[in-house]
Structure 1
Amino acid sequence: MLIEKISRTLSETWTPVGMSKPMLNRLDLGQPGKWEQMLKGVTDVADLLDPTGIISYASELDDNLALYRVSCPIGVLLVIFEARPEVVVNIAALAIKSGNAAILKGGKESNRTTAELAKAISEGLRRSSLPATYIQTVQTRAEVSALLALDQFIDLVIPRGSNELVRNIQN
């Protein structure tokens, strides 16, 4: 593939100032098989059974009083992760499948790729019954801080990455 050839040439000959080779490799969606693997993950999630509405526990507590545990969407997820662009697609697929909206924040090194992938996802959502804004991205730590203060709108915050990232979000 042309994308893989260009990507391989760039990664063999050029590394942005201050960026390590492993970081560049993480950011490079054109590496052999990486794009296809990301797309396969989406189809694998799409092929899963609908996780909502499943009764996993039922008990009669009293006459005419039953208790059921039924799976349902959580609501709006805020997911903060490090510079791995394919995570945008992974999380979006899982959020959509489980009936959750998501706001995503990737590492600053992948801001443009994250935004472009989110734009492609929004285009796909426009062709569905879901709103195009079901999956959104933010780019800055200030935006994340503002969202963390909106408990009434954000139902679950998921930091995915290093211990430092998790501690930062917890604080």
Structure 2
Amino acid sequence: MISFDRELEKQLKDREFEKQIKEVGSRLLNTPSSIDDLLTFLDKVEIFLAYVEQEPSKSMRDALFPSVKVSVVSCFIEIRRITVPDAPYKDEQMKEIFQLIVVAFENMSHVSICSYKKVVSILDTIAKVKLCLVMLDLECDALVVEMFQSFLKIIRSNYPPAILSAMETNLLYF
């Protein structure tokens, strides 16, 4: 009986921690207004992430990954935008980044409402700096196909016009 109670207590704590992780991820998507606030918040995020086990449960991964992936991809895309026309990464690194982008798009229907702003920004930036063409130059043809298959799987008529427009713009480059 005692082990059952401990297991139940652990599950409840895990669920509460997952809820807190989701909340932190959502807040991370809405960047604090000052550098000091951002650094303080990032310190808190680091503390939360330090408590996540090496091989977290599926529910914990589900709580973490959508917003983390979108945020990571967004950072890579912005770095690429800033450095155009020079490539800040080697070809192999860019291929890995493109894989992350495709994974982020595959999970687009699972990201929170707050993430849509980042997703739209990612799509717009990819279109503006013509990263789809870079994908082709690096012979990432299969990833390009995967990306557009993801668009076709998740696209809905009720999506915000900005997302539909950004997807369309990227399609036009092909």
Calculate the TM-score normalised by the size of structure 2. 0.30
Question: Which structure shows the bigger proportion of residues in helix conformation?
Answer: 2
Question: Which structure shows the bigger proportion of residues in strand conformation?
Answer: 1
Calculate the TM-score normalised by the size of structure 1. 0.30
Name which structure has the greater RCO, CA cutoff 8 Å, separation 6+.
Answer: 2
